[in-house]
Amino acid sequence: MAMLTILILAVFLITQPNNVNSCRSYCGNITIDYPFALQSGCGHPGFKNLLFCINNMLMFHVSSGSYRVLEIDYAYESLTLHDPHMSNCEAIVLGGKGNGFTVEPERASYFTPMADNVFMLIGCSAQSPLFQGFPGKHLPCRNVSGMGCEEYYGCPAWSMVGHKGVGMGPPECCAVAFESIKAINLSKLECEGYSSAYSLAPLRNDGPGDWAYGIRVKYSVRGDGESCRACEATGGTCGFGVDGDDDNKQLCICGSFNSTTNCDSSG
């Protein structure tokens, strides 16, 4: 009887899917999983060559520059980025050094800053596209999720650079939502610097000193997530081809073979 039990258990284990994810990796304390990956052929093809692990720091690289990844939230499909040349409450960084945030056209459908992310553009010229076509009292500047320049002026950093207050020229700071201008390109917008903060709602904060500074980006693989879940349910790992007829084609990696569907099918 004991031998029969052992044989049944062995057959059960052999027939169960192998759920070891060969593409999952780590950088510092951050887990890299689908749709992201560090290895070639892993993850979603639209996310390839985005992440790099350098000295245990995870870096995210797009056309506007390189950012340190502070967090990847797979449940909410978001990542939090840090730009070292971005202003915050303690320091105003001028000289147009900041990256802002823009992505390549082919990646635009996959990444967009979240709606609760405010971009505060600093030192923009009167000729900036921000102010063209708007009457003086109807600038595009506005609060986003309760955060804006009027509150930001209360930061210690402004006392160091000398806040001039309301004048006849353009405002020293203009807060906008990403959706209103579609790209934060400091050169094209003719701005000297920027800051970015996001809401921690439903948590309340007591002002700009308590804001979370960084760029929160929503990512999406559109309808491709369903095919990946079907792959993983059969013990596979989601990836894509890197050469030949399978180049950039989504695949289910099944150990000794790849499938275009799942590990229950070799097709």
Cα pseudo-dihedral 80, 85, 89, 95, rounded to 10: -150
- Which residue type is seen at 84? P
Which one has a higher pLDDT value, 5 or 48?
48
Round the average pLDDT of the chain to a whole number and report it. Answer: 85
User: What local confidence, expressed as pLDDT, does residue 120 receive?
Assistant: 96
- Which residue type is seen at 141? C
> How many Cα atoms occupy the beta-carbon half-sphere of 175 within 13 Å?
18
User: What local confidence, expressed as pLDDT, does residue 50 receive?
Assistant: 96
* pLDDT tens digit sequence for 99-146: 899 999 999 999 999 988 999 999 999 899 888 876 555 567 888 988
Q: Which residues contact 215 (CB under 8 A, 6 or more apart)?
A: 67, 80, 81, 82, 83, 86, 101, 113, 117, 196, 198
Q: In a 3-state reduction of DSSP, which class is residue 15?
A: helix
* pLDDT tens digit sequence for 69-97: 999 999 999 999 999 899 999 999 999 88
Strand intervals (E) in 114-249: 117-122, 173-177, 193-198, 212-213, 215-219, 237-240
- Give the mean pLDDT of 200-213: 78
- Which residue type is seen at 232? E
Q: Alpha-carbon distance 250 to 44, whole Å?
A: 7
User: What local confidence, expressed as pLDDT, does residue 66 receive?
Assistant: 94
Of the pLDDT bands very low, low, confident and very high (cuts 50, 70, 90), residue 3 is: low
Give this prediction's pTM: 0.83
3-state helix, strand, coil split of the chain in percent (to 5) is: 20, 30, 50
User: What local confidence, expressed as pLDDT, does residue 4 receive?
Assistant: 44
Whether the predicted pLDDT of 21 surpasses 50: yes
User: What local confidence, expressed as pLDDT, does residue 1 receive?
Assistant: 52
Q: In a 3-state reduction of DSSP, which class is residue 182?
A: coil
Which helix (H) or strand (E) element contains residue 30?
strand 30-32
Phi, psi of 257 (to 5 degrees): -150, 165
User: What local confidence, expressed as pLDDT, does residue 151 receive?
Assistant: 93
Cα pseudo-dihedral 207, 210, 214, 220, rounded to 10: -90
User: What local confidence, expressed as pLDDT, does residue 10 receive?
Assistant: 42
Q: Alpha-carbon distance 240 to 253, whole Å?
A: 8
Whether the predicted pLDDT of 163 surpasses 50: yes
CB-neighbour burial class of residue 92 (10 A; exposed 0-12, middle 13-18, buried 19+): buried
Going 31 to 35 to 41 to 42, the CA torsion angle's sign is positive
Return the structure tokens found at 236: 């596979």
- Give the mean pLDDT of 203-230: 85
